[in-house]
């Protein structure tokens, strides 16, 4: 089989990564010099993650999807082991009261970032084998059991946000696979009933919600980031103060090279840069959905559509938090924010998309009418081969 490279997806990803490296350096250089004596400290670590992620992306892109499906159980088992090790003293790395990382010297890996993709691969394989059978509650129940162990290990880290993301993207895949709207409403209702008590079980989550409603009422704590982000973007105006000229990153925003890097972009390069950045994410989402539509099998369609939605929604929610539109969560801005594990996992996601695109039908398989457009699949009483 001749494997093709999708130039649009590659070019869009490279532009985002290059822009992210520039902004990580701009947002961190002064503070990195004060802390470590090396103004490029965070940039170098991001470059190391980029190197590892690029290898992972390339290997995945050239690997036939049937091989990835064959080793899905191995990947799932490794994910479970990694999540379990996050609770082992001496191996775990704790930060801000959470044990979400495995620590190896100065290198920290967050298994839950990779868990999102592993769960999607496993669920896409299952839904492909049982395509057309989602109305059967037994098939639906087994599908729900795939992400459940991972979610039960991520939640007590604690990481309610990632748990909700895994549940949400799995529900989205079920919808793409053809779940009836009535059943989807039931899944959403059940998730709300279970999720709301868990969300308000911790005081800091309640404070995040209340600070979102009125940041000024808690401006010294949970509302601080949002207020300083608003001030930074207001200072940047339409065209920005110039690259490297942010004041918020020096005096007001803690670790601005991570979740709130969007505020630095707004202050230094203005709203024009933010609009262009949103446009690049829109281009990536368009290309991912284009790949999903032309995937050679249902597995590729389900996986590509959901990975694309995951990246797009992470970008949307990160920028929405920076602008004060949604409550703070702690999501990185894909390919832009500093974060080694996030960079590697997002590049792995791009590798999966490239692998699906490499095997895609250039014409496109028959699709049914309606939205979202789904591949026609003959109902089967037994799993598809």
Residues facing 93 on adjacent strands? 101
Q: Which residues contact 155 (CB under 8 A, 6 or more apart)?
A: 163, 198
- The CA angle 227-229-230, to the nearest 5 degrees, is 65
| Ranges of the chain with pLDDT below 70 | 1-2, 200-201, 203-205, 207-208, 220-221, 362-385
Range list of β-strands (E), the chain: 92-95, 98-104, 107-109
Are 208 and 326 contacting, i.e. CB atoms less than 8 angstroms apart?
A: no
Q: Identify the domain containing residue 36 by its residue range.
A: 12-358
What strand order describes the sheet that includes 98-104? Answer: 92-95, 98-104, 107-109
Residue 385 lies inside a defined structural domain of this protein: no
Residue 2 lies inside a defined structural domain of this protein: no
Residue 44 lies inside a defined structural domain of this protein: yes
Distance CA 188, CA 378 (A): 27
How many C-beta atoms lie closer than 10 Å to residue 130's C-beta? 21
Residue 364 lies inside a defined structural domain of this protein: no
- The token pair at 145 is 């059991």
Q: Helix, strand, or coil here: 245?
A: coil
- The token pair at 324 is 């004060």
Provide the CA 95 distance to its chain's centre, in angstroms: 20
Residue 335 lies inside a defined structural domain of this protein: yes
Residue 381 lies inside a defined structural domain of this protein: no
Are 122 and 146 contacting, i.e. CB atoms less than 8 angstroms apart?
A: yes
Provide the pLDDT for residue 364.
52
Are 357 and 1 contacting, i.e. CB atoms less than 8 angstroms apart?
A: no
Residues facing 104 on adjacent strands? 107
Distance CA 346, CA 328 (A): 21
- DSSP letter assigned to residue 275: H
Provide the pLDDT for residue 250.
85
Residue 379 lies inside a defined structural domain of this protein: no
Sign of the alpha-carbon torsion through 285, 287, 293, 296: negative
**pTM greater than 0.85:** yes
Provide the pLDDT for residue 160.
86
Provide the pLDDT for residue 159.
87
Are 119 and 307 contacting, i.e. CB atoms less than 8 angstroms apart?
A: no
Provide the pLDDT for residue 68.
96
Residue 378 lies inside a defined structural domain of this protein: no
Provide the pLDDT for residue 221.
67
**Count of structural domains, the chain:** 1
Distances (CA, A) of 1 to 47, 58, 298, 354: 33, 17, 18, 15
- DSSP letter assigned to residue 329: -
Average per-residue pLDDT for the chain: 88
């Amino acid at each position: 089989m001749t494997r093709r490279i999708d130039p649009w997806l590659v070019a869009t990803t490279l532009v985002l990564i290059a822009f992210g490296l520039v902004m990580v350096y701009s947002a961190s250089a002064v503070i990195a010099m004060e802390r470590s004596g090396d103004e490029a400290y965070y940039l170098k670590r991001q470059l190391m993650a980029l190197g590892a992620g690029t290898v992972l992306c390339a290997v995945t892109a050239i690997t036939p999807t049937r091989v990835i499906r064959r080793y899905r159980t191995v990947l799932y088992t490794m994910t479970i082991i990694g999540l379990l090790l996050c609770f082992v003293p001496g191996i775990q790395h704790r930060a801000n009261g959470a044990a979400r990382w495995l620590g190896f010297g100065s290198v920290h890996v967050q298994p839950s970032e990779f868990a999102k993709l592993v769960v999607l691969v496993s669920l896409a394989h299952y839904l492909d084998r049982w395509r057309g059978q989602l109305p059967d509650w037994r098939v639906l129940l087994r599908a729900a059991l795939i992400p459940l162990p991972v979610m039960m290990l991520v939640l007590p880290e604690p990481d309610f946000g990632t748990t909700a993301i895994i549940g949400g993207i799995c529900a989205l895949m079920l919808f793409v696979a053809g779940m009836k709207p009535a059943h989807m409403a039931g899944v959403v209702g059940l998730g709300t009933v279970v999720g709301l008590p868990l969300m308000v079980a911790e005081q800091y989550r309640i404070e995040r919600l209340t600070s979102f409603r009125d940041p000024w009422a808690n401006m010294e704590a949970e509302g601080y980031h949002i207020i300083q982000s608003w001030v930074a973007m207001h200072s940047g105006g339409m065209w920005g103060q110039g690259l490297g000229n942010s004041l918020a990153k020096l005096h007001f925003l803690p670790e601005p090279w991570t979740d709130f890097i969007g505020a630095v972009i707004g202050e230094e390069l203005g709203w024009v840069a933010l609009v262009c950045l949103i446009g690049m994410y829109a281009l990536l989402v368009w290309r991912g959905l284009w790949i999903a539509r032309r995937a050679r099998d249902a597995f590729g369609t389900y996986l590509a559509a959901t990975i694309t939605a995951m990246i797009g929604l992470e970008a949307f929610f990160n920028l929405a938090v920076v602008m004060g539109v949604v409550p703070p969560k702690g999501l990185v801005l894909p390919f832009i924010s500093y974060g080694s594990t996030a960079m590697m996992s997002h590049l792995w996601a791009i590798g999966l998309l490239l692998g699906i695109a490499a095997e895609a039908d250039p014409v496109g398989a028959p699709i049914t009418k309606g939205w979202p457009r789904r591949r026609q699949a003959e109902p089967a009483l037994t799993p598809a081969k």
